[in-house]
Structure 1
Amino acid sequence: MTTADDAVDHPRAAGAGRALLPMLTLGNSALYLVYLGVGGVLLPAQIELLDPDGKVGSLGLVSGIAAVFATLFNPLAGLLSDRSGRRNPWILGGGLASFGALALLGQVRTILLVTLVWCLVQATMNCFQAAITAVVPDRVPAERRGVASAMVGIGTPIGSVVGILLAARFVPDSLATGYLLIGAVMALAAVLFTALVREERPTKTEPVPLRRQLAAFAETLKVADFRWAFIGRFLMMLGFFAVSLFQFYILQDHIRLPDGMDAPGAQTYLAPVDAVSTLAATVLGGWLSDRLGRRKPLIAVSCVLASATMAVPVLMPTWTGILLYTVLAGIAFGCYMAVDTALVTQVLPSAADAARDLGVLNIANAGPQILAPLVASAVVSLAGYDALYLAGALIILGGALAVVPIRGVR
């Protein structure tokens, strides 16, 4: 596998033409179109139709099991694409397979089958995601990676907003059509990417034994600063996902919406509000941390703000309250991600193995998605949605404390 610094000399870097950056935005947009449009709207609506009384527990179980598949398949697919020396076949195969899996998901009629097929969707999506994530270090020269990362990042709010707006149009009467359409967009993005962004076959290299790669992953977490950054990211994501994965049901059962507005309709308003506030805070937070030369205080402030924001829907379970919560949470999360990402790049254990170490950090993004649905469904079932916000606030505060022991970054 190439290192971050020598990618410019790698044969695959020859494929980095004018189409690469916009295609990276399109590819990442398609990812979040599925993750938010399906995971945030269509899947909860489908589970509610199949199990209206036990929907909270069922969504937690389905999401938790599927997140295990996501966590396992992402590094596995990355390893296999590394060994094959190609990215495009995995991008194309993952995108087309996702279309088939999503089409099938729209047809199943039991919670068991929903669980199995959603796991299949996660597996296919992570084949796509692992390969397209590796494209930047593979094909983009080091001096242009900041721009490339920004183009990737832009895809997240675009895909999230479009996915939620699109999916909401098919709830509750045309879920199968919604799955089919979102799957078709995913497949089209994969076809366009591989058609317009070509890659050359690399020269054969000796693959690193799997045992050595696993040992290297374990060694990474022995570095104290990186370990604390990992813990902080894990806690922030756990608190965030515990609440956000249940937003559909929170809007249905906890928030007093205006007359004539339902949960899908509310999501279509909240999605662009969240995207704008997150984007603005991401830009401002990154700029401010560079300007001040400080990362840890801004991360701590972001976590404290995110934690305090959890009180808003508890004290104001109204449409005004959830709008205010969405703005403040977007600001906190956007600033956190921008500054924490910068901090992580400064505490990587090995500059020559940046891709590997960032892969370890990705566990802190994916792991909470396994735990969050299970923790959240248990909390809601036992104590209700107010307790869920309280639990999320306490977990996120732990993320603020985790940056304190980091010594290598101010």
Structure 2
Amino acid sequence: MTAANAASQPQQSRRFLLLYALAVAGGAVAYVPFLTILLPVQVAAFDSGSAVKLLGLLAFAGAIAASLANIGFGWLSDLSGVRRPWIAAGAVLSGVLLSAMRLVEDTTTLIALIIAWQFALNMMLAPLAAWAGDSVPDAQKGMLGGLLAIAPAMGALSGALVTIPGFAVTEVRPMVVAGLVAAMVLPVLIFGNPRPMPALMDKSAPRAATTRPRGTAARMWLARLLVQIAEAALFAYLLIWFRSVDAEFGDNDTAILFAIVLALAVPLALLAGRWSDRAERPVLPLTIGSGIGAFGLVVMGLAPSLTIAIAGYVVFGLATSVFLALHSSQTLRVLPSPRTRGRDLGVFNLTNTVPSLIMPWLTLALVPVFGFDALFMVLAALSVVACILLMTLQRRI
């Protein structure tokens, strides 16, 4: 599609794009503070001696439930032909279940409730993701990806907010999170009113299958999986690694650095996304992001001091944050058909859940024997493979 043709294509309203990005950020708020802060605190209150083991079990069960639920509810929203009722029902039900977490007093009930909450949460998230494919034309997918970079930053900010001393007691925090999610998701359901995009909803023939080379979707899927494995490893073990470099580096230092990287990634993703729309090069920012991410991991693996270690992480964190945000929107280009858009996005969502199953085993196999240096080099190699996969798609989508 030429620049002139792109300019002539119908554009989605900026109001919908902004409200949609706010809703996606609400989706991040729905799980980030709970899984990273509130749940570990609650588990530790049960039995601090077995907290690590129980958290691992909950993470495993939750990842399996999320994977199945995302595919299932995406598919159900395809079959029903509507997205909003599923999003609204999932937001309400997940909020109710999250608020009920404070009443749990035994591990068996907690595991069951976590699984139920994951199903309700993905009842909201899966149709919400597919709604963008129904409503945002290719010429605006770069801008959409840039706006989606706000979601991780809002998730981290919400965790800091609900844990401010004196702001909310421990028992009330899940309800505060549920209220924040409702306030962020409901506006797009009530006021979004996206402009109809008949070309995106034409179910007479598979859209991407007839216009993209074979294997395009698979390469996009694998590239994201490889980068997500690296991102998941850093998310889980960043503090431990920093302390192995400098024992004085604390949890607050890590949280501040993490928040700064996420905040800086937002304008970078917006700039990269707008450029990709105007230049009609949707894959190039992804290729560059995965390559720079690999470079950052190499710097981390070779870092002789805390300063170099922080610099390497900043490079990696910025590159992969931009990559993941833009990949989420550009994936919508390569899905086989509008009639199975929700289901297919659920399959792509496996790149978000499967790394949490792979990463612990990879880390345990490498770090105790070879140290974090070896782990970072392996992760860098995975990112290089992702870069090569995307390089072959430069002019194919």
Both proteins in one fold, TM over 0.5: yes
Which residue does the alignment assign to 1:13? none
Q: Which residue of 2 aligns with 1:203?
A: none
**Contact kept? 1:38, 1:167, Cα under 8 Å:** no
Distance between the aligned counterparts of 2:368 and 2:46, measured in 1?
18
Unmatched tracts of structure 1, length 5 or more: 1-7, 10-15, 200-207
* C-alpha contact 2:40 2:55 (8 A) present in aligned 1: yes
Residue by residue over 1:96-115, the C-alpha shift from the partner in whole angstroms, topping out at 9 and shown as x without a partner, is: 11112212333435554443
**Separation in structure 1 between the aligned mates of residue 316 and residue 184 of structure 2, nearest angstrom:** 30
Q: Aligned residue for 1:276? A: 263
- The answer to whether 1:397 aligns with 2:388 is no
Aligned 8 A contact 2:87 2:125 in 1: yes
1:331 and 2:318 matched: yes
Q: CA deviation at 1:365?
A: 3.5
Match of 1:240 in 2: 231
- Give how far 1:29 is off: 1.4
For residues 88 and 161 of structure 1, do their structure 2 counterparts lie closer, same or farther at Cα, with a shift above 3 Å needed?
Answer: same
TM-score, with structure 1 as normaliser: 0.72
Counterpart secondary structure, 2:82: coil
8 Å contact 2:84–2:189 — kept in the other structure? Answer: yes
Equivalent residue for 1:96, pick from 73, 89, 92: 92
d(CA) in 2 for partners of 1:22, 1:280:
15
CA deviation vs aligned residue, 1:147-190 (integer Å, no higher than 9, x gap): 8725751541442232232244369x954332221122123334
Mapped partners of 1:387, 1:141: distance in 2: 42
Deviates more, 1:320-329 or 1:230-239: 320-329
- Name 1:307's counterpart in structure 2: 294
- Of 23, 27, 30, which residue of structure 2 is paired with 1:31? 27
**Which letter does structure 2 place at the counterpart of 1:230?**
W
Mapping of residues 5-404 of structure 1, within 5 Å: 20-50=16-46, 52=48, 55-138=51-134, 140=135, 142=137, 145-146=140-141, 149-150=144-145, 152-169=147-164, 174-197=169-192, 223-247=214-238, 254=244, 256=246, 262-263=250-251, 265-286=252-273, 299-311=286-298, 320=307, 323-337=310-324, 340=327, 358=345, 360-373=347-360, 375-376=362-363, 388-403=375-390
Contact 2:77 2:83 in 1 (8 A): yes
Q: Output the TM-score relative to the length of structure 2.
A: 0.74
- Find the aligned partners of 1:381 and 1:110 in 2 and give their Cα distance: 33
Gaps of 5+ in 2: 1-8, 195-202
Shift of 1:193: 3.9
1:257 and 1:318 in contact (8 A); partners too: no
2-side partners of 1:294 and 1:146: how far apart?
Answer: 11
Distance between the aligned counterparts of 2:305 and 2:165, measured in 1? Answer: 25
- SS, match of residue 104 in structure 2: coil
Matched-pair identity in %: 21
Alpha-carbon distance change, 297 to 118 in structure 1, aligned in 2, over 3 angstroms? same
CA shift digits 1:309-368 (9 cap, x unpaired): 235555559864564344212322144346656875665556897766555433334433
CA distance in 1 between partners of 2:219 and 2:142 (Å): 28
CA contact (8 A) 1:31 1:186 kept: yes
1:274–1:45 CA distance, 2 compared to 1 (3 A): farther
Q: Is 95-104 or 241-250 further displaced after alignment? A: 241-250
Report if the CA contact (8 A) 1:347-1:409 is conserved.
Answer: no
Amino acid at match of 1:129: L
The answer to which of 217-226 and 332-341 deviates more is 217-226
Counterpart of 2:64 in structure 1: which amino acid? V
The one-letter code of the counterpart of 1:189 is M
Q: Secondary structure in 1 aligned to 2:171?
A: helix
- Amino acid of the residue matched to residue 403 of structure 1? L
Match for 1:35: what amino acid?
Y
Moved more, 305-314 or 289-298: 289-298
Distance 2:169 2:374 in 1: 33
Shift of 1:239: 1.9
Work out the CA distance in 2 between the residues paired with 1:303 and 1:320.
23
User: Alpha-carbon deviation of 1:43?
Assistant: 2.9
- How many residue pairs get aligned? The number is 379
Give 1:31 shift. 1.0
Match of 1:169, SS state, is: coil
- More deviation in 351-360 or 127-136? 351-360
The letter for the 1-side match of 2:155 is: S
2:176 aligned partner, one-letter code: L
CA deviation profile, 1:187-241 (whole Å, cap 9, x unmatched): 3334444343469xxxxxxxx9xxxx9xx99999992333222222211112211
